Amino acid sequence: MLKFYEARDSLEARQLIDALAAHRIEATVLGEYLSGAAGELSALNFPWVWLINNDDLGAAQAVLDGFLASRGSLPKQGPWVCTGCGAEVDAGFDICWQCGAARK
């Protein structure tokens, strides 16, 4: 088994499990109910998706990338150049600071 992805919550973990299963990739969720042990463990416990077969890592990563992209959860990659005015805009912004054009 291979520790693969730390989900935000049980719902996200289960949705990813379903996406992986659709591609015939076996996975399971561990740590889903740790928050019930409050007082003994940190209050910030997130469920982990584990791959059953380590050989599925490449295919699972492709599924995860698509899953996160469909949710708009992919991190933005570095600064971008506005197509409207050519200004360089920091990665955290989707609107150009100079001309107000949206990121494309």
Domain ranges (residues) in the chain: 2-71, 76-104
The CATH architecture assigned to 2-71 reads 2-Layer Sandwich (3.30)
Pairing of strands 48-51, 27-30: antiparallel
Give me the mean pLDDT over the 31-59 stretch. Answer: 76
Give me the mean pLDDT over the 4-31 stretch. Answer: 92
pLDDT at 77: 63
Beta carbons within 10 angstroms of residue 14's beta carbon: 15
Q: What is the pLDDT of residues 47-101, one digit of tens each?
A: 999 999 999 999 999 999 888 888 775 555 678 899 999 998 887 788 888 999 9
pLDDT exceeds 70 at position 38: no
pLDDT at 10: 87
What is the model's pTM? Answer: 0.60
pLDDT at 35: 53
Selection from 63, 62, 67, 97 nearest residue 82 by Cα: 97
Please list, residue by residue across 31-64, b when 16 or more beta carbons sit within 10 angstroms of its beta carbon and e when fewer do: bbebbeeeeeeeeebbbbbbbeeeebeeebeebb
